[in-house]
């Protein structure tokens, strides 16, 4: 049983081959980090999984069925930028997905459904640590808060696969560590498979259950166009990290330690979580 | 210190803001008094008193023939034409611009055509409009629409196309259909720009309005100016021009305020 299966996938733009004969099985509930040098096709691979682009050859299956040709609610996405809608408040952004899903004509819900959704959205906002910012617009949030919002917005759809395209690449190191802990917890708690593109190896090994490196097998300039990227390294993290289960890797953390409000209640100054 | 880093005190800034207006008024008064000193019957730069008399005659005295207060009836008929023309243009820009911006079918069908049509000089079409639609209101409104709408459509389509692709894909992952993407994602983000584009088109719209009224009308601000031109009545033309400018400037200001009030986030985005 696999969540995502790629069989002999090729992606070509005209004469240029970007991805060459790539096969990959991704287990359900795993957290795969895709790493590799710039321009090696990591983002292209993510777009293929998202359905934003189609493979030139080969098949991609999601839970055993062929992947739909366009993006849909079973695959959530968070980009480095432009993931949230500037014209909606934090609450509006988080409520948007379920509203679009339930009201197919007006795109808004009303009455009891709206109150219910409002409550769920506020809970989700609190869960990603944005409580108190419900009525702010994205432009009023810091970069880290915007990415938290993007995560909350995507998770409201309960996606089976969450695709992350260098989501924390533009954040400064302190903020990035905080959001890594949040990301780990969200992955741990929710029934989803995560595929994350990153150029930060440390991040890949901190978060992933498996690190997949992409690269071109030939890199001479005159050959570069005709040889695409495929998997050069595939590393399972040890000790194994298992979503939803206490393992060596996550036993150190007390429940809610990444939530500033809980920390303020339980102790004066929370201990820094140890590096993994 | 470099000139680009100069910091102005609020008093200086205010003084500078009003200075060009003051200079303009003083230059007029000086020129007027010099010419009148030479020839008391000079009509080119009338004294403020004769302008005030003319304003009183046009705005606050009923016309001897029709009993109307001419300035107000002129303003009313001009604004009706302008509002109709700009309203139709805005509605067209909204529908066609968004369609071109998000639907590949309409982009292929209409984008080159609209670009082509926007290059037609509207004033050159005026005779055709008068001949085919008659001398009534229709041809005047049509001229404004033909002059203004293609540019607004292109501008709005560009705005929609410039929305990050990531946003559209994100909306798809939130289960939005094409219609819902247009309604909830594209439209709200296009409207502030549409209002901005409307502000920029106020000037051209007045130009086309006055051109149409100058040729054939029985009332209207442009009609009046070109009517009294025959008598060299600068004392009427000057206040009319000032009044038109004032109307356009307040519409410009009003639309911008409306945008800020309706779309508070657009101001935040601009300030980033």
pLDDT at B269: 72
H/E segment holding residue A226: none
Nearest-CA residue of chain B relative to A89? B265
> B34: distance to nearest CA of chain A, Å?
57
- Lowest mean pLDDT segment, chosen from A109-113, A186-190, A266-270, B193-197: A266-270
Please tell me the distance from the alpha carbon of residue B263 to that of residue B251, in angstroms, as a whole number: 18
- A165 by Cβ neighbours in 10 Å (0-12 / 13-18 / 19+) ranks as buried
- Nearest residue, CB atoms, B169 vs list A52, A104, A140: A52
Beta carbons of A96 and B164 less than 8 Å apart: no
- Which of B169, B170, B195 has the highest number of chain A CBs within 10 A, making it the mutation to test binding with A? B170
> B241: distance to nearest CA of chain A, Å?
39
Mean pLDDT within A58-69: 88
pLDDT digits (tens, 9 = 90+) for A209-233: 899 998 887 777 777 777 888 888 8
Architecture of domain B58-256: Orthogonal Bundle (1.10)
pLDDT digits (tens, 9 = 90+) for A105-137: 888 889 899 999 999 999 999 988 888 999 999
B84 or A1: whose pLDDT is higher?
Answer: B84
Place of tokens 């710039």: A38
- Nearest residue, CB atoms, A96 vs list B174, B179, B266: B174
Examine the pLDDT at A246 and tell me if it is beyond 70: no
> B200: distance to nearest CA of chain A, Å?
23
Beta carbons of B170 and A75 less than 8 Å apart: no
List domains and CATH numbers for chain A.
Answer: 1-74+160-249 (3.40.50.300), 86-158 (no CATH)
pLDDT at B271: 56
pLDDT grade for A269, boundaries at 50, 70 and 90: very low
Beta carbons of B189 and A101 less than 8 Å apart: no
> B186: distance to nearest CA of chain A, Å?
10
Beta carbons of B176 and A107 less than 8 Å apart: yes
Sequence-distant (6+) residues with CB within 8 A of B263 are: A87, B188, B191, B192
Nearest alpha-carbon partner for B142 in B154, B133, B155: B133
- pLDDT tens for chain B, 272 residues long, are 899 999 999 999 999 999 999 999 999 999 999 999 998 888 888 888 888 998 888 888 888 888 888 899 999 999 999 999 999 999 999 999 999 999 999 999 999 999 999 999 999 998 999 999 888 889 999 999 999 999 999 999 999 999 999 999 999 999 999 999 999 999 999 999 999 999 999 999 999 999 999 988 888 999 999 999 998 889 999 999 999 999 999 999 999 999 999 998 888 876 55
Sequence-distant (6+) residues with CB within 8 A of B209 are: B78, B81, B82, B85, B140, B143, B144, B220, B222
| Secondary structure class of A78 (helix, strand, coil) | strand
pLDDT digits (tens, 9 = 90+) for A144-176: 899 999 999 999 998 999 999 998 888 888 888
Domain residue limits, chain B: 58-256
B63 interface with A at CB cutoff 8 Å: no
CB pairs A-B closer than 8 Å = 81
Whole-number mean pLDDT of chain A? 84
């Amino acid at each position: 049983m696999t969540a995502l299966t790629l069989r002999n996938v090729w992606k070509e733009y005209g004469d240029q081959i970007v991805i060459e004969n790539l096969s990959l099985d991704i287990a359900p509930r795993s957290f795969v980090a895709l790493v590799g040098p710039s321009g090696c096709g990591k983002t292209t691979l993510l777009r293929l999984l998202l359905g934003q682009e189609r493979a030139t050859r080969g098949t991609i299956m999601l839970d055993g069925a062929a992947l739909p040709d366009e993006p849909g609610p079973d695959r959530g996405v968070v980009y480095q930028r432009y993931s949230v809608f500037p014209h909606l408040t934090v609450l509006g952004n988080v409520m948007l997905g379920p509203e679009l899903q339930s009201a197919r004509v007006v795109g808004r819900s009303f009455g009891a459904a709206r109150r219910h959704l409002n409550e769920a959205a506020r809970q989700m906002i609190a869960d990603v640590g944005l409580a108190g910012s419900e009525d702010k617009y994205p432009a009023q949030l810091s970069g880290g808060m915007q990415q938290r919002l993007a995560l909350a917005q995507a998770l409201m759809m309960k996606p089976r696969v969450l695709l992350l395209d260098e989501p924390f690449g533009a954040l400064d190191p302190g903020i990035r560590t905080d959001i890594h802990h949040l990301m780990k917890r969200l992955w741990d708690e929710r029934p989803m498979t995560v595929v994350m593109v990153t150029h930060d190896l440390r991040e890949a090994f901190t978060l992933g259950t498996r690190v997949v490196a992409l690269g071109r097998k030939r890199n001479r300039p005159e050959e570069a166009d005709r040889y695409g990227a495929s998997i050069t390294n595939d590393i399972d993290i040890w000790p194994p990290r298992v979503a939803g289960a206490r393992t060596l890797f996550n036993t150190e953390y007390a429940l809610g330690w990444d939530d500033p409000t809980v920390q303020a209640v339980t102790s004066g100054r929370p201990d820094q979580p140890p590096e993994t | 210190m470099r000139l680009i880093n100069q910091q102005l005190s609020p008093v200086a800034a205010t003084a500078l803001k009003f200075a060009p207006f003051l200079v303009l008024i003083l230059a007029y008064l000086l020129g007027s008094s010099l010419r009148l000193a030479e020839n008391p019957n000079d009509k080119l730069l009338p004294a403020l008193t004769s302008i005030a008399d003319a304003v009183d005659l046009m705005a606050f005295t009923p016309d001897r023939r029709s009993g109307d207060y001419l300035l107000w009836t002129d303003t009313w008929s001009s604004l009706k034409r302008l509002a109709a023309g700009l309203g139709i243009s805005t509605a067209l820009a909204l529908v066609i611009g968004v369609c071109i911006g998000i639907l590949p079918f309409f982009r292929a069908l209409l984008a080159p055509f609209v670009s082509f049509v926007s290059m037609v000089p509207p004033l050159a079409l005026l005779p055709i409009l008068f001949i085919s639609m008659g001398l009534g209101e229709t041809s005047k409104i049509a001229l404004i629409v033909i002059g203004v709408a293609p540019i607004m459509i292109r501008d709005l389509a560009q705005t929609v196309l410039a929305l990050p692709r990531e946003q559209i894909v994100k909306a798809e992952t939130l289960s939005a259909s094409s219609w819902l993407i247009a309604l909830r994602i594209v439209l709200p983000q296009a409207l502030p720009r549409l209002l901005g584009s409307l502000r920029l088109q106020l000037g051209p719209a007045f130009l086309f309005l006055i051109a149409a009224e100058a040729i054939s009308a029985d009332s209207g601000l442009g009609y009046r100016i070109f009517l009294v031109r025959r008598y060299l009545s600068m004392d009427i033309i000057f206040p009319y021009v000032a009044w038109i400018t004032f109307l356009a400037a307040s519409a410009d200001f009003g639309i911008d305020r409306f945008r800020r009030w309706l779309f508070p986030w657009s101001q935040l985005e601009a300030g980033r």
